Each structure stands twice: as C-alpha cells, then as structure tokens.
A = this chain, B = another copy of it.
Amino acid sequence: MKPAAVKEKLKEAGMKITPQRIAVLQALVDNHHHPSAEELIKIIRQIHPNISVGTVYQILNTLVSKKVIGKIETDDNVVRYDAIIEKHYHLYLDNKQKILDYFDDGLTEIIMNYLNRNDKLKNMNIEDVNIQIIGRSKKHQGN
C-alpha cells in the first residue's frame, strides 16, 4: 500500500501524522500474516532502526482504539494485529502456525439466525460472534 493511502487512514482516524505511525501502519498493512508487536518492530526497524518498543505498542494501541486496525487473540498468549477491520474469521492451519483470513458473511448470518432463535440465549442480546476454524493443509500433509 502506498504511503499516501496510509497517511489518509491516519488522517481519517483523526491522528497526527508522524513517521513512526506511518511506518507502523504501513508495516501492518503490507504484512498479511497477522504479525505480533515483536514481529512488527523487527520489520519497522529495517527502515526506522531507532523506533522504540514503547512507541510501537502505543501506536498499535491507539490504532486499535480508533478502529483502524484489529487485534486477534491467539492461544499462544501473544497479541497479533490485523490490518483488516471488516468482519472476518481466521483459519488456523497446521498447528496454528499459519493464520489465514476467512471472509464469509453467509456463515455469520447462519449462525446469527440460529442463535437468535435459540431459547437458551433469550436472556442476552447477541452482539457478535467470533469463529476460529482449526485445521490442516491437505498438501504435504504431515501425520
């Protein structure tokens, strides 16, 4: 993604445009592998060797709170980030080594309809559903 577009995203979020923020957001947008903060820092330091860990965390938190980016919770207890904020799910492949995006509004609808008809849940308003699909690639299938 072009730097100009990255800047535009920051501007839309009402954030001041700084080189660090551009670098963080750019790194995330260009890496579709749902990097952790640590991975992002490595990537960003290739260009901004002096950026500090605290700054990156702070920028990421700000971006999340402004809904410019998303957070994914994985079960290795490390927070990962996601440049895509449209509703989508994640495929955890091959012992969760690979995390792929999975867009499927139809699935959301089916689940929502099902849940909303469920008497067991009539005491709650369902706001959202998250799904993790765990599996294994069919090619080079180990084990």
Contact = CB atoms under 8 A, between A and B. Distances in A.
| Chain A interface extent, by class | 35 or more
Contact of A133 (B73, B79, B129): B129
Given A73-B73, A73-B77, A111-B111, A136 B131 contact: no
B134 A129 contact: yes
A61 to B, nearest CB: 13
Interface in A106-143: 107, 110-111, 114-115, 118, 120-139, 141
Contacts of A130: 131-132, 134
25 contacts: A71-B75, A73-B73, A73-B75, A77-B77, A91-B124, A102-B120, A102-B121, A104-B120, A107-B111, A115-B133, A122-B138, A123-B137, A123-B139, A124-B135, A124-B136, A124-B137, A126-B133, A126-B134, A126-B135, A127-B135, A127-B136, A128-B134, A129-B133, A130-B131, A130-B134
